[in-house]
Structure 1
Amino acid sequence: MPDRLVVLYRGNRPPATALIERLADTVYATEEELPYLLPGADALLAWVTITPAIREAWPDNPDKAPRWVHAASAGVDSFLFPALVDDPGVVLTNARGVYDQPTAEYVLGLILALAKDFPGTWEHQRRREWRPRQSDGITGRTVLVWGTGPIGRAIARLLRAVGMRVSGAGRKARTDDPDFGTVHGTTTLRSALKEADYVVLAAPLTQGTRGMVDAPVLAAMKPGARLINVGRGGLVDEEALVDHLAAGRLAGAALDVFVQEPLPAESPLWDMPGVMISPHTAGETTSEREALVEVFLDNLTRHIEGRPLRNVVDKRRGYVVDETHPA
C-alpha cells in the first residue's frame, strides 16, 4: 500500500472514495492546501488537472516528490514542468480512453450544427421568426483531423461512418492508416489544408504543437472552411483566428478550448458570426467521473501490486506512446 496518496480536488471529490481509501492512506487537498500535503506523498491523483497548483507545490527536494502522478484527464500539459519531467523516478499516467468516444460524438454534433446553422435556427426561434432556408450537407465533405491519438482516431471513425472523407495530420506521414487512410506529414500538410472543408484539432499541447495553427496555416486553409478545436487552446493563435474570421476567409469555427479559460468576457470570439463557443466540455458526459475513477483504481491496484501501470505518459513527448498506432 502507498504510504500516502494525495488527491487534489476542487469542489467535489471523486466518486468511490471508499474504494480509494481502502487501498491507500488517502489525504484530500485543495489547491491552496497542496503545498503542505504533497511533500512526502507516495502518489498524487490530480482530480483537477488544468491548474498551476501542482507545479507550484512540487517539492524542491526530489526525495520528497511523489513517485507516481495520475492525471484524471487526457491532456497532461499542466504536468510537463521541468522538475517532474526531468525526474526519471516520477511516473506520469493519464485517463487515456475515457474521452475518445464522447469527444468524437461532440465533434460530429459541432459539424452538424455548423453545417445546418443550428445557432441561427435557434435565434430565429427565439425571435419567433419563420425563416425557411437551405443548409449544407456533410456527406462527402472533407475533414482533416490534426492529431492521430486515440481521440483523433475515434473522431475519424465516427465521421467516416456518416459519409465524410477523412484524413489525418501527424508526425509520421503514411497512406495505410487503419482509421485515417492517409496521414499527412509536413510536406503534404498545406495541400491537405487547401482541400479540407473542416479542420479538427485533437492534438496534445506540447512544445512542438503550441501555436501550430498560426496565421500562415489559417491562410492555407480552404476559403469557407471551418475550424473545430477540441484539443487545447494553445494550439491556435487566437488573434490570427479572429483576423481570418473577421475577413470572412473562414466560414466559422467551433471552439471548446482556449488559451485562457474561462474565455475572457472581452474576447471578440464571443460575438463573431459563425463561431460556436463551449466551456471545455467536449468530452464530458454524465458517466465521466465514474469512468475516470475506474481507470485510476485499476492503476492504483497495479501500483500496489508492483505491476506495470496503464497509460504511462512519455514525459518528453507529452502523451502516451502507442507503437501500434504511430502519432
Structure 2
Amino acid sequence: MPAQPVVVVLHDGRLPPATAMEPVTAHAELRPTEEAGLADALRGADVLFAYDFLSTAVPAAWHAAGSLQWIHVAAAGVDTVMSPEVRESDVVVTNSRGIFEGPIAEYVLAQVLALAKDLPGSLRLQREHRWEHRESERVAGTRALVVGTGPIGRAIARLLRAAGMEVHGGGRHLRLDDPDFTTVTDAAGLTAELGRADWVVAAAPLTEATRGMFDAAAFAAMAPHARFVNVGRGELVRTADLVTALRDGTIAGAALDVVDPEPLPAGHALWDLPNVVLTPHSSGDVHGWRSALTELFADNVLRWVEGRPLRNVVDKSLGYVPSTGSRP
C-alpha cells in the first residue's frame, strides 16, 4: 500500500458527509469527481469509492485505472461496476452490506400492509371526498416468497414472519430446513413456488443469472390475486411483461422501488396503472443513511491501511458477498 494512497470519490454533486470522511482524509489524498472526470481522476489512484452507486461510468473509465487496487460501492448491489474487465482483474470489490437490511425490510412490510389494506385506494377516495366503506385483507396467514436469500432477503423474511406470514425463499441452492425461510427453492422449483405465493418479493442481486428472471412466464405462474414487490434491481424484471401482467389481471398489483429504465420516464405506463405503487429507489434511504455508508467505507479504509481484512468482500464470480452462514 502506498504511503499516501489516492482515493477517488465518485459522486453525483453530493459529496459524502465531511465528518464521516475525516478518518479517510487523515490517511489518504482525496480526488472527488463526477462522472465526466472519472477517467482523469483514476489515473494513479489506488482506491475508488463509488459513492454515486447508480453511476454506470466505471466501465468506460476503466482504461485509466492501471494502479487501482480496490473499489468500494456505497450500495448492496455492485452490478454498476462489475464489468468483465473488473471481474477479471485483481482489483478487490467491497459493498455496503449491513446498512440497508432493516430499512428495506420495513419498506417491504409497509408495502404489503398498504396493498392488503388498500391504502392507495383510501387516499384516492379521500381526494375525491368520498366516504365509502370497504373491507380489507389480513396479511397473517398469507404466503410470501422472497427471491434472494442474502442479508436483505433474510431481514425481509424475519419481519414478514413477525407479521404472521408464512415465508419461503428462492435462491441458488435447495434447502429444506432454513431458519428464516423454512424452505428455499432453487431455479428448478421456482415456477411451482411462484404459483403458491400470495406475495412475491424480488430481493436478489442483479447478475447474469438473475437479469430478466421475472418475465411473462414468471408472472403467468403467479396466482391472479398475488402482488409483486421489487426492492432488488429493475433489471430483474422484463418491464413490458410486468405492464402486460398488471393490465390484463395476470397478477393483482405491484409495489416497485426499482424499475427499468430508471428513472422512470414521463409517460411510461407504470405511472398510471391503478394497481401499482412506485417509489424512487429509496426503500433503504432512511435518515442518516449517507453517513452510515460513509462510516462503513471509512472503517474499511482504516482496515486497509493497517493491513487487516476488509469487510464485505464481493466474490466477483458471483457478483455479491457470499454468506458465511444461513443467518449472516
TM, length-normalised to structure 2: 0.96
Q: Give the Cα–Cα distance (whole angstroms) in 1 for the partners of residues 120 and 326 of structure 2.
A: 37
Distance 1:77 1:65 in 2: 22
1:85 corresponds in structure 2 to 87
Letter in 2 for 1:23: H
The percent of aligned pairs where both chains have the same amino acid is 49
1:165 lines up with 2:169 in the alignment: no
Aligned to 2:299: 298
CA distance in 2, matches of 1:157, 1:18: 36
Separation in 2, partners of 1:53, 1:86: 18
What does residue range 65-104 of structure 1 map to in structure 2 within 5 Å?
65-87=67-89, 89-104=90-105
Change (3 A) 1:323 1:56: same
Q: Is the 8 A contact 1:205 1:232 kept in 2?
A: yes
SS at match of 1:194: helix
Determine if the alignment matches structure 1 residue 17 to structure 2 residue 17.
Answer: no
Which runs of 5 or more structure 1 residues have no equivalent in the other structure? none
| Contact 1:38 1:59 (8 Å CA) reproduced | no
Structure 2 distance, partners of 1:229, 1:34, is 31
Name the residue aligned to 1:190. Answer: 191
- For the pair 1:28 / 2:32, whether they are aligned, the reply is yes
One-letter amino acid of the counterpart of residue 35, structure 1? A
Whole-angstrom CA distance in 2 between matches of 1:292 and 1:23: 18
Q: How many residues are aligned here?
A: 324
Deviations along 1:31-53, whole A, 9 cap, x unmatched?
11111111110101110011121
Contact 2:5-2:27 at 8 Å conserved across structures:
no
Distance 2:230 2:137 in 1: 20
CA contact (8 A) 1:2 1:42 kept: no
How far residue 74 of structure 1 moved from its aligned partner, in angstroms, is 0.4
Pair 1:49-2:53 in alignment: yes
Deviation at 1:2, TM superposition (A): 4.5
- Name the structure 2 match of 1:222: 223
Which piece of structure 1 moves more, 95-104 or 50-59? 50-59
SS in 2 for 1:33: helix
Name the CA shift for 1:190/1:58 in 2 (closer, same or farther; >3 Å): same
CA distance in 1, matches of 2:35, 2:21: 19
CA distance in 1, matches of 2:177, 2:21: 44
AA aligned opposite 2:27: L
> Is the contact made by 2:146 and 2:169 (CA closer than 8 Å) also made in structure 1?
yes
- How much has 1:19 moved relative to structure 2? 2.8
In structure 2, C-alpha distance between the alignment counterparts of 1:27 and 1:244, rounded to whole Å = 47
Work out the CA distance in 2 between the residues paired with 1:107 and 1:195. Answer: 19
Quote the residue 2:155 is aligned against.
Answer: 154
CA contact (8 A) 1:39 1:58 kept: no
The Cα shift of 1:258 comes to 1.1
Letter of the 2:59 counterpart: R
Correspondent of 1:37 among 38, 41, 54: 41
In the alignment, what sits opposite 1:284?
285
Post-superposition offset of 1:67? 0.4
Matched-pair contact (CA < 8 Å) for 2:105–2:156: yes
Q: CA deviation at 1:326?
A: 8.9
Moved over 6 A (4+): none
TM-score, normalised to structure 1, is 0.96
